[in-house]
Amino acid sequence: MDFLQPKSWAEALEARAALPGGLPVAGGTDVLVALNFRRRHPPAIIDLGRVPGLDEVSADDGWLRIGAATTYDRLMTALPADFPALALAARTVGSPQIRHRGTIGGNLGTASPAGDALPPLLAAGAQIEVASRAGTRRIAAPDFFTGPKRTVLAPDELISAVHVPRARGPQQFAKVGPRNAMVIAVCSLALALHPDHRRVGTGIGSSGPVPLAATEAERFLEGVLSAEGLWDAPRPLSASVRADFARFVTIAARPVDDVRGTAAYRTEALRVLAGRVLDWAWADYCRTGAR
């Protein structure tokens, strides 16, 4: 098994193209578990830890660019204003030790349906930037995942960054698990209000083969907010709006029974989470409005 440690992005893309079966590693918090338990035997390991700039977060023209090697610890501290749902989700990942190493690019590359960073990417309208020697392309977050632990990433491509519009309204994230830390989500839900476009974004985690957007819930809430003039003059939502939004969220989920929970439990938990994240986000919007 070869160990490559490219010193530049160009070198990393060369290595990736030369070794299509090579396993890229950034923080290693997922990859090392697979290696320690001999679940993976790649012909080569490509360590991206020496590529300069891969962990940079920058803002330009209303958009953020989050480098693929940005750790959860950094996401927690750097993004509360510009991408609050991701900052909240990052804080629920593992432990301090895990958050110091684990990266958003790693979460995308592993592509577990339970990846905590993924529902916020869907809710906020993020795009995934991937690159090969041939160039760079951007993929809308919902189109990046093709199945459990499967993505559209080609064998010669690496994940380079996440692009996302800076938050113009409230965002929330909630997750269910048996402990308050160190848990893989039983289910999770992100919600983003986009008052500038009068849109609503959602992302459901760990309740389907891929992270899912609750499209009908989004359209339903947009319809209510527009029809009742609530974007401009926000006031508390009715109990029936809250209940209908939550019901549309559960309809979008495609949960299964597995070791972490049953499909029935996940559906009920998502219904509860949907009501909560809507309460929190809407209370925030009533207080502060659009940014």
Give strand pairing partners of 175.
188
Of the candidate spans 98-106, 138-146, 199-207, 246-254, the one that interacts with other proteins by CB under 8 A turns out to be 98-106
Token pair, residue 69, equals 């090697």
DSSP 48: G
CB of 186 to other proteins, least distance (A): 17
CB of 107 to other proteins, least distance (A): 14
Of the candidate spans 28-36, 169-177, 230-238, 244-252, the one that interacts with other proteins by CB under 8 A turns out to be 28-36
SS3 call for 45: strand
Q: Is 192:98 a contact under the CB 8 Å cutoff?
A: no
One residue of 9, 17, 49, 224 binding other proteins per CB under 8 A? 49
Looking only at residues 2 through 21 of this chain, which bind other proteins when binding is defined by CB under 8 A? 2-3, 5
Residues with Cβ within 8 Å of residue 4, at least 6 apart in sequence: 15, 19, 22, 44, 45, 46, 47
One residue of 21, 37, 135, 259 binding other proteins per CB under 8 A? 37
DSSP secondary structure, 189-238, as one string:
EEEEEETTTTEEEEEEESSSSS-B--HHHHHHHHHHHHHTTTTTS--PPP
Measured between alpha carbons, how far is 23 from 43 in angstroms, rounded to an integer? 8
CB of 60 to other proteins, least distance (A): 28
Measured between alpha carbons, how far is 176 from 59 in angstroms, rounded to an integer? 32
29 binds other proteins (CB under 8 A): yes
114 binds other proteins (CB under 8 A): no
Of 180 and 240, which has the nearer Cβ to other proteins? 180
Residue 7 has φ and ψ, to the nearest 5°, of -100, 0
Of 49 and 209, which has the nearer Cβ to other proteins? 49
Binding-site size, other proteins (CB under 8 A): 28
Binding mask 52-91 for other proteins (x = CB under 8 A): ----------------------------------------
CB of 95 to other proteins, least distance (A): 2
35 binds other proteins (CB under 8 A): yes
Measured between alpha carbons, how far is 125 from 162 in angstroms, rounded to an integer? 10
98 binds other proteins (CB under 8 A): yes
Using CA atoms, how far residue 181 sits from 92, 164, 185, in Å, is: 6, 27, 10
Q: Is 126:227 a contact under the CB 8 Å cutoff?
A: no
One residue of 18, 33, 134, 243 binding other proteins per CB under 8 A? 33
H-run or E-run covering 157: none
Measured between alpha carbons, how far is 201 from 220 in angstroms, rounded to an integer? 11
Half-sphere exposure of 33 (CA within 13 A, CB side): 7
Of 179 and 287, which has the nearer Cβ to other proteins? 179
Of 184 and 290, which has the nearer Cβ to other proteins? 184
Looking only at residues 174 through 193 of this chain, which bind other proteins when binding is defined by CB under 8 A? 179-182
- Give residues in contact with other proteins (CB under 8 A): 1-3, 5, 25, 27-29, 32-33, 35-37, 44-45, 47, 49, 94-98, 100-101, 179-182
